[in-house]
Amino acid sequence: MTLGVIASLVICVTLVPALKITIDGLLRRVGFDRHKAALGRGKYLRRWLLTSVAAARRAAPAVIAVTVLVSAIGRIAFTELDRDASQDVDLEVADWKEDLPGPTGFDAFESAAAERILFEQRFQPEGGGSDPTRSLSHTQFLIRGNVTDPAAMNAITAAEEAARTADESVVLKQGNTVDVVSPLSVMEAAAAANSSFAQTFEAADADGDGVPDQNVERLYDALFAVAPEQASRVIERTDDGQYQSLRLIVPARSPANSNRAETMYGIADSMEEASGLTVTAVGAGTFNDVGLSRLTNGIVTTMLLALAAVLVLLVLVFRLEYNSMLLGVLTALPIVLALGIVFGSMYLADVPLTFETALLISITIGLGIDYNIHVSDRFRQKLDRGADLTTTLTRAVTGTGGALLGSALTSGAAFTLMIISPDPRLQSLGVIVAVALGVSFLLSVFVLPSMLWLWARREDDYEVDSDSVSVSD
């Protein structure tokens, strides 16, 4: 992306001006004059853009306050966004996409890979299937502490009960039971196969509820004596015979989304409450949750660093060029507000925060800040040439604002076209970037002018109004 921006800069300051001058010269030779009014000076567009000037003159504080409030709500919505490693691929293509002409049309079965994925989605066996392991993975729970205390058995029974009542879309159930692998399940299997161990197991169960509540360490010793391989898979025993931890395995369906992590954390909490021991859940869902937490923290850190870098750079540039550090701060402020609004839009559109959509942070800052720089620079240039404040703001909004509208429309349309992609990840990225560009444009021509108006009113050297507004440069 950085290389693309640099390449575009080189082309736009070298090749594009040369081509424009050459083509205009050739057209003038044949009697065709391409000189036209700027986009923002048209009859209808100019009237629309000038509403921001009127708002700045009459209610600049209100415009800024409303925008800040909307952005703050969006930042609150950021904490409520669904967080997943990536969006699920849905190969069920909408009818209108299949009807698109030519090479833009889509077919759900256009590739062998698509057929295999769709087959897996439709025909993988569920809970009672002959091969349920194909539709599931597992979450493991590590129980640490005094695992020879009978309370450790309470943790296991609590886990079994929590798994049985958990969300069926997360925990794989067969009927109304969950096939939990634990020291207790291994003991039950060993008792069924060995009568000697069965007596030891029953002796450790004083109340007869099927759960040992005494002599647990002796029970572990007996289990290792009759089934050492099976016991070592669920009970950690050191070389000197000390018991360090227990392992418990809960079958879970394969999607490693935030719901799975929440469910498994809930089971771990139930185990801790029932036993007082330390329980750690480890699985695809919890790993994914940790990764998403790092992603979220990384987004916030990156956003703050990027905004800080932009702020410092703009402050330095505007200080050197116009002797005004505050103007640099105001130029960067709309992009801060834009981020909050974009997050709110993601929440309303039910777009999850993924590794892909996280890219919109840098894209929003990188593309949106350009709009503000153009408006602020044009405003200050016209102001320094002696025009009154109203005329200056009008020229900046209608002249630069019209050009920015063209840029926002073309860039936004390019990204919006990604909606025809059958991949939801590309769809989300395209829509969110298009929204980010639109929000950045609207803030630059409808909110930034109010900030510039209040900034200029603080200066004593600028005349506020004139009887007529000139739009000539």
Q: What is the pLDDT of residues 80-100, one digit of tens each?
A: 877 665 555 454 555 555 555
pLDDT cut 70: percent of the chain above it: 77
How far is 408 from 366, CA to CA, in rounded Å? 13
What is the pLDDT confidence band of residue 108, given thresholds at 50, 70 and 90?
A: very low
Over the stretch 351-384, which tens digit does the pLDDT of each residue have? 777 767 776 777 767 777 888 998 998 898 888 8
Q: Which residues contact 106 (CB under 8 A, 6 or more apart)?
A: 93, 97, 98, 100, 420, 422
pLDDT above 50 for 470: no
pLDDT above 70 for 428: yes
Contact criterion met (CB below 8 Å) for 472 and 392: no
Q: Which range scores top for mean pLDDT: 22-26, 38-42, 337-341, 365-369?
A: 337-341
| Residue 126: predicted pLDDT | 42
In CATH, which of 1.10.1530.10, 1.20.1640.10, 3.40.470.10, 1.10.3370.10 is domain 37-85+289-458?
A: 1.20.1640.10
Over the stretch 259-283, which tens digit does the pLDDT of each residue have? 777 888 888 999 999 888 999 888 7
How far is 328 from 39, CA to CA, in rounded Å? 27
How far is 184 from 247, CA to CA, in rounded Å? 10
| Residue 123: predicted pLDDT | 44
Comparing 439 with 88, which gets the higher pLDDT? Answer: 439
Tell me the CA distances in angstroms from 280 to 143, 165, 182, 184, 272, one per residue in order.
7, 20, 14, 18, 9
Edge-first strand listing for the sheet containing 136-144: 235-237, 243-253, 136-144, 278-283
What is the pLDDT confidence band of residue 113, given thresholds at 50, 70 and 90?
A: very low
Average pLDDT of the chain, as a whole number:
79
| Residue 86: predicted pLDDT | 53
Question: What is the DSSP track for 208-252?
Answer: SSSS--S-HHHHHHHHHHH-HHHHHHHEEE-TTS-EEEEEEEEEE
Closest CA to 42 of 31, 50, 52: 50
Cα–chain-centroid distance for residue 465?
45
What is the pLDDT confidence band of residue 133, given thresholds at 50, 70 and 90?
A: very low
| Residue 92: predicted pLDDT | 53
Number of Cβ within a 10 Å radius of residue 309:
11
Contact criterion met (CB below 8 Å) for 154 and 274: yes
What is the pLDDT confidence band of residue 404, given thresholds at 50, 70 and 90?
A: confident
The mean pLDDT value for 299-314 works out to 82
How far is 18 from 315, CA to CA, in rounded Å? 33
Taking the domains of the chain in order of start, what are their residue ranges?
1-35, 37-85+289-458, 92-123, 128-254
Over the stretch 31-73, which tens digit does the pLDDT of each residue have? 776 666 555 565 667 888 888 889 999 899 999 999 999 999 9
Question: Structure pTM?
Answer: 0.64
Least confident of 3-17, 76-90, 214-228: 76-90
Helix or strand run (H / E) with residue 470? none
Closest CA to 147 of 246, 247, 238, 231: 246
Burial class (CB in 10 A: 0-12, 13-18, 19+), 1: exposed
